[in-house]
Amino acid sequence: MSDTLYLVVPCYNEEEALPETSKRLLEKLTKMQEKDLVSKDSRILFVNDGSKDKTWSIIEKLHESNKLFCGLNLSRNKGHQNALLAGLMTAKELADMTISLDADLQDDIDVIDKFVEEYYAGSDVVYGVRSSRKTDTFFKRTTALGFYKFMTKLGVDVVYNHADYRLMSKRALEGLSQFKEVNLFLRGIVPLIGYRHTVVEYERHERIAGESKYPLKKML
């Protein structure tokens, strides 16, 4: 008997990306269900983070067309980390495991199968780690690596080249729910939960549509 997976996808003004993103994720989830890698109760959960465009109406239409899609609509824009946490805490009550990923699909969804295989092998957390940063600009690459080094010196147990592309089991999500942080930094919190974890490497792609939600000001 396979376990239930929820793909948790925070969305902020993603009307351009959602049509293609939903298509690819549906194909991926359907194939995994056909192989009995995940249960028929598995779903794709889009979290609308107070978008100002047609993101939520698109999510509603996706749900009407196929019940594998579901949505969570936040009352206002609360930021990526809060939107992600809201999705994870909602999915915690419905799934055996979750995988969080961004709506732009820069994270390679072909490794989702490997995430789930590591879960069945006993891992409660599976980190998606970029194998290289060749698609980044020199500025982005340099500042990102500098950020990880700085956080490490501050004593933060952070996984290099890992963003928020990860699998978490229900047990790990229960552990996460016990943290009462206000200024969320999930990449720093998740390693504190404990339990068995592993890493799956992947190559990051270009954004499929729309614009980055992290311009220089937000990154700083």
- pLDDT, tens digit, 9 for 90 and up, residues 102-132: 999 888 999 999 999 999 999 999 999 987 5
**Residue type for position 67:** K
18-22, 113-117, 204-208, range with the lowest pLDDT: 204-208
Does this model's pTM top 0.85? My answer is no
Which one-letter amino acid corresponds to residue 117? E
CA of 85: how far to CAs of 17, 81, 92, 107, 135, in Å? 21, 6, 10, 18, 28
Considering the chain, what is the average pLDDT of its residues?
Answer: 87
Q: What are phi and psi of 193, to 5 degrees?
A: -65, -35
Residue 41 has a pLDDT of 97
pLDDT at residue 8 above 90? yes
Q: What integer is the mean pLDDT of 124-147?
A: 70
Distance CA 16, CA 111 (A): 24
pLDDT value, residue 4: 98
Percent of the chain with pLDDT over 70: 79
Q: Which pLDDT band holds residue 25 (cuts at 50, 70, 90)? A: very high
Four-residue CA torsion sign, 85, 86, 89, 94: negative
183: left (phi over 0), alpha (psi -120 to 50) or beta: beta
Residue 145 has pLDDT above 90, yes or no: no
**DSSP state, 190?**
G
> What distance lies between CA 96 and its chain's CA centroid?
16
d(CA 118, CA 49): 30
Work out whether strand 5-11 and strand 43-48 pair parallel, antiparallel, or are unpaired. Answer: parallel
Q: Return the axis-axis angle of helices 55-65 and 18-34, rounded to nearest 10°.
A: 30
Query: Which pair of tokens denotes residue 38?
Result: 């995940």
Mean pLDDT of 56-74: 98
| pLDDT for 125 | 96
Cα maximum dimension of the chain = 49
Q: How far apart are CA 130 and CA 161, in angstroms?
A: 5
For residue 183, what pLDDT is reported?
A: 75
